[in-house]
Structure 1
Amino acid sequence: MQQVSKVFYISLVVAVLFIAWGAWPNSNISEVTTNIQGFITDKFGWFYLLSATGFLIFAIYLVFSKYGKLKLGKEDDEPEYPYITWFAMLFSAGMGIGLVFWGAGEPISHFNAPPGLDTEAQSQTAAQEAMKYSFFHWGLHPWGIYAVVALALAYFKFRKGAPGVISAVLVPLIGEKRVKGPIGTTVDFIAVFATIFGVATSLGFGALQIAGGLAFQFDGIENTVTLQFIIIAAVTILFMTSAMTGLNKGIKYLSNTNIVLALLLMFFLLFAGPTNFIMDYFTSTFGSYVRDLPYMSFRMTPFSEDSTWVGDWTIFYWAWWISWSPFVGTFIARVSKGRTIREFILGVLLVPTIFGALWFSVFGGTAINLEYFQGQDIYSDVTGIGEEVALFSALQHVPLGGIMSIIALLLISTFFITSADSATFVLGMQTTNGSLNPDLKVKFIWGVLQAGTASILLATGGLTALQTVSIITSLPFTVLLILMCISLFKEFQNEGKKVGIKKKNSAK
């Protein structure tokens, strides 16, 4: 087996112990994690809010700074993938399952339980707020977090020749000696730990929605934990098969398939549903999103007796994105060699944000239109069964809804496989000293452990357990992200001085 680092063994032991704890009869894992999550949300919600906004501001600053022209690689390096494939790969790894899961579920939930404490449910104002906050939670902020991690890893890996691990980014800040010692090992362990549970959350969402969709569409099928386990087992076999083919075959082809299926489903619903309403809704909401972005970025409710909404939604999302960032960041970095910093950040920020906004407008807009104008009760399915069935509940009211539901299930499955496949690659890379082609045995081990972690979380608390662990694992990595930004900026300053010296010498 390929040479693995200390982080591999430490992370492996911790992951196995966690799975064993959850599988133990009468395990108190759900109670313990819920208590920890409650403490973190109450005491550090503001920290998540300020940090996520700070990462976005830092990314935007770099676009307009003098460092934007620097390449993620040597000066003569060219991008390895064309734009379409690049966007497909980063998008599939970054948000695929989540968009399908929450595309209709989040807007319809906000419409019936508005983020504004004084907003009347199911009102026009509630509809506007519902879509605006859906854009907010899936827009610039999460991609700003991803961009910072990916940029740091790609810059140090491809331009400086450093190992493709998180700790290598901190060399300018704490020195190479400390990075190669216990501090560096701890940093990489935190990144791997956050990745395991961040990805497990998304895999759990995927299993929940596939099981929910099957139960909703076919009589005689029940959405049980057993069915969810069977789905995870089946998908594990599929994504491990894909992982064996490598980055340029399995993940590349699956990512392109995902985009085709996603576009097919989205454009069908756009034109089969209330087209004018959807596009008007998209246009007006995107404007209000841009206008109110500063306010939403710092919104807390310190004077409200019921301030749980921000914690249950915004703080959870920021924690979820941060816990996903070492995984998505490493993967985006791997496929972004040869692009300039300006090109990279603009691509990572703008394209997924606009596409995500259109996605929510189509699926969430259709669901809200069905309730507001046609009197259909989509929300009762959400509250009675779960957010995972909102998409299927909405599709049953449009032409060819049954066929579209089958395509949706197929899309969820391919997103599921792509995310898990990408995660095994990233975990393998992070635990083999940054190898760009991790050993198949290493990827296999992480694939099995990811599936086991997702299964345990579902068995011990379902969606609540998944959300809880995401928030817990993301807190230490938020601190690391801040240090990474400082270290990266310090290295940019050094690079700028070198570039300036070269220019002066050439002028002479």
Structure 2
Amino acid sequence: MSEDQRSSRKKLADDARRAGRRAGSSLGSLDYQRPKYPHDIHPALVPGISIDEQRRRYSLSKTVFALAGVLTVAFVIWGVVDSAGVAEVSAAAFAWATGNLGWLFNSVAIIILVALLIIAFSPYGRIPLGKDGETPEFSTFAWVAMLFAAGIGIGVLFFGPSEPLTYFVSPPPLTNEAESTEALHRAMAQTYFHWGFHAWAMYALVGGAVAYAAYRRGRSLLMSSIFRSLFGARHADGFAGKLVDIFAIIATLFGTAAALGIAAMQIGAGVSIVSGVDELTNTVLVVIILVLTVGFIISAVSGVARGIRYLSSINIVLTVGIVGVVLFLGPTLFLMNLLPSAMMEYMGSMFDMMGRSLSWGEETQTYQSAWTVYYWAWWISWSPFVGIFIARISRGRTIRQFLLGTILIPSSLLFIAYGIMGGTSIWMYREGMPGMSADMAPAQVFFAVLDNLPYVGWLPFVVIVVLSIFFITSADSASVVMGMLASNGDQNPRRWVVVFWGLVMSGIAVVMLSLGDATALEGLQQLVIVTAVPFALVMLLIIVAWFRDLRTDPLTLRHLYAQNAVSKAVVEGVDRFGDDFALQVVQARPGGGAGAEVDSEHENYTSWYQRTDEDGDPVGYDYETGEWADGWKPETPAEEPPEDSSSSPEASGDGADGKPV
């Protein structure tokens, strides 16, 4: 740099310092005029709004209930009247969806996981799922326990032993030689891939977005509430939002029906073994579904929810106990060596498994359709149900805690459970133990494993009870969630609405089983994949909508202001005073302060916290005192005695046991 350049730069710096000092000395004469914000509060200072602080009138959404109800009831009637026609159409739709949209499901699974990790580790991760300063509703131990409960269910007993064994005997195309040591570890990794981080990321996306909308923005517990910033309030509350809720109901119906059908298949296998009769037909499975549906109806209309929830908690303990029995009575040393090895194989081969698609050949595409795409579709279809459950237990936690906890904790626990069950079935198969063969139906593998364990002749009876309770509690819980979606977010929907969705769900399960003939799992898989296609697109829109909300969050604004203010102040301070300077908050000229890059009066920042009455008309509100201008006060729920704490769905795990795993 020449001497003239240095002299010119020094002169510019001196002029800037003098101008800054003159501006600083004259700012005291400026009259600060606060812009016109709703309720006279800056959007960066809004503490958030809870769902129970809002004023809304709940009622049955005739559009959602009618459209979703008519479509699904019509399907059930069609399946009963012309099951062959439904089978033909569903098979064609399945072939088209897996052949042409397999890439979509794979992409959705990858995009969701990556997007949530970005949110978790960004400044957005510090935003609470609740109001500023709100503490978590449940302790960390209780929250982890309920996440664990949400990861225990039918899959541990149905797919846990059978899926790894299937991959060991028939490895995924272009991987390893069948029944080799490499195939053993790849089988466990493939199972972890289907039940691990990607699956729970889908649940975490819906749960996090719903929890944020309800407990930070004061919206209803609806899928459509997520999209207010994307669609606009008028469309989110109008037909576009109702269409999202309809897709959520349909996806939940078919996803839950598949789980109920699998539970019936497992119960049928257990009854066959316990009674000594031949394998049960689909007709008998339908009878089992109808009997258990009667149990669900009794629980739904009699108000014995507390007892059902206690049974649900007992179910979790029994399932964990069954896994423990297999660990200690099975090949314990082999399993203790396998578990860490399988986990490392999963981490090492994850990107390879994520990259498999039709481009790897027709054989890979066929495998993907039967397994990976099916699982991605199943998790997508379950995401409204499980997402709303984990949203309701996560109030007050930061987004970072919620996302990382939801993705990592249940996955890790499932890795242990599936490693024990799958490792045991493979070990028994390799040892040539009685009853272990490569052509067994998935529902029979678990009972074959039990047959080879000592001292557990009583255990099949316990398993049948566990599966029966699972069926009733999952039908009950999923029906309540669908009732909420059809009732504008009412957390206590009418009983007849809940019973209606439960009956439709059981009807769909019956139809799905009837489509599969001898291999009933095929019918379950086909319809889950087909009906999950629309909601896969909704999942991608949820990412966009949630990002738009987070960008205008009060904490995001404060972070942006802090970055701008500190950055400018440090540059000015070092330039003027070197090392010896301190920061002070003073009024800046318009357009020259920390918020110069933010139009804080824009409706994106201000419209969401404008309070309204039940009819949607604006009402004054004091954010410092929490008082409404018209004197309205939120209803405070009556306190319950401590022993009733488990009667809430949040505290009991109700809804958790209705998850397909």
The verdict on a shared fold, with TM-score over 0.5 as the criterion, is yes
Bigger relative contact order, structure 1 or 2 (CA pairs below 8 A, ≥6 apart): 1
Q: Does 1:9 align with 2:9?
A: no
Give 2:473's match in structure 1, choosing from 395, 418, 430: 418
Whole-angstrom distance in 2 between the partners of 1:439 and 1:73: 27
Whole-angstrom distance in 2 between the partners of 1:479 and 1:491: 19
Whole-angstrom distance in 2 between the partners of 1:242 and 1:87: 27
Whole-angstrom distance in 1 between the partners of 2:150 and 2:87: 28
Equivalent residues in 2 for 1:15-94, closer than 5 Å: 15-25=72-82, 27-83=84-140, 85-87=142-144, 89-90=146-147, 92=149
Whole-angstrom distance in 1 between the partners of 2:77 and 2:377: 25
Equivalent residues in 2 for 1:64-463, closer than 5 Å: 64-83=121-140, 85-87=142-144, 89-90=146-147, 92=149, 96-117=153-174, 119-220=176-277, 222-243=279-300, 249=306, 252-307=309-364, 308-376=366-434, 378-380=436-438, 383-384=439-440, 386-461=441-516, 462-463=520-521
Q: CA deviation at 1:151?
A: 0.5
Q: CA deviation at 1:502?
A: 8.2
Q: CA deviation at 1:75?
A: 2.5
Give 1:474's match in structure 2, choosing from 521, 528, 532: 532
Residue equivalent to 1:498: 557
Residues 500 and 250 (structure 1), Cα distance of their counterparts in 2 relative to 1, 3 Å cut:
farther
Q: Secondary structure at the match of 2:457?
A: helix
Contact 2:151 2:410 (8 Å CA) reproduced: no
Q: Secondary structure at the match of 1:419?
A: helix
* Structure 2: tracts of 5 or more residues without a match: 1-57, 567-583, 587-661
Contact 2:482 2:501 (8 Å CA) reproduced: yes
Q: What are the superposed Cα offsets for residues 211-235 of structure 1, whole Å, 9 maximum, x if unpaired?
A: 1121123213641223212321232
Residue equivalent to 2:619: none
Q: Which range moves more in the overlay, 248-257 or 56-65? A: 248-257
Q: CA deviation at 1:378?
A: 1.7
Q: What are the superposed Cα offsets for residues 339-370 of structure 1, whole Å, 9 maximum, x if unpaired?
A: 22122112211121111111111111111111
Q: How many residues align?
A: 504
Q: CA deviation at 1:409?
A: 2.2
State the identity %: 37
Q: CA deviation at 1:328?
A: 1.4
Whole-angstrom distance in 2 between the partners of 1:428 and 1:475: 22
Residues 89 and 233 (structure 1), Cα distance of their counterparts in 2 relative to 1, 3 Å cut:
farther
Q: CA deviation at 1:303?
A: 4.1
Residues 76 and 256 (structure 1), Cα distance of their counterparts in 2 relative to 1, 3 Å cut:
farther
Q: Which range moves more in the overlay, 440-449 or 12-21? A: 440-449
Q: Which range moves more in the overlay, 195-204 or 459-468? A: 459-468
Whole-angstrom distance in 2 between the partners of 1:501 and 1:26: 59
Contact 1:94 1:328 (8 Å CA) reproduced: no
Q: CA deviation at 1:239?
A: 3.1
Residues 487 and 182 (structure 1), Cα distance of their counterparts in 2 relative to 1, 3 Å cut:
same
Q: What are the superposed Cα offsets for residues 219-270 of structure 1, whole Å, 9 maximum, x if unpaired?
A: 1364122321232123223334444577983564244212211121111110
Q: What are the superposed Cα offsets for residues 456-491 of structure 1, whole Å, 9 maximum, x if unpaired?
A: 211232221110111011111111111110110111
Residue equivalent to 1:486: 544
Q: What are the superposed Cα offsets for residues 407-445 of structure 1, whole Å, 9 maximum, x if unpaired?
A: 222222232223212201110111110112222221111
* Residue identity in the other structure for 1:201: A
Whole-angstrom distance in 2 between the partners of 1:195 and 1:279: 37
Q: Which has the larger radius of gyration?
A: 2
Runs of 4+ in 1 over 6 A off after TM superposition: 245-248, 501-508
Contact 1:89 1:255 (8 Å CA) reproduced: no
Q: Secondary structure at the match of 2:218?
A: coil
Residues 459 and 417 (structure 1), Cα distance of their counterparts in 2 relative to 1, 3 Å cut:
same
Relative to the length of structure 2, the TM-score reads: 0.72
Contact 1:72 1:154 (8 Å CA) reproduced: yes
Contact 1:85 1:256 (8 Å CA) reproduced: no
Contact 2:173 2:363 (8 Å CA) reproduced: no
Q: CA RMSD in A?
A: 2.3
Relative to the length of structure 1, the TM-score reads: 0.93
Whole-angstrom distance in 2 between the partners of 1:87 and 1:238: 30
Residues 17 and 92 (structure 1), Cα distance of their counterparts in 2 relative to 1, 3 Å cut:
farther
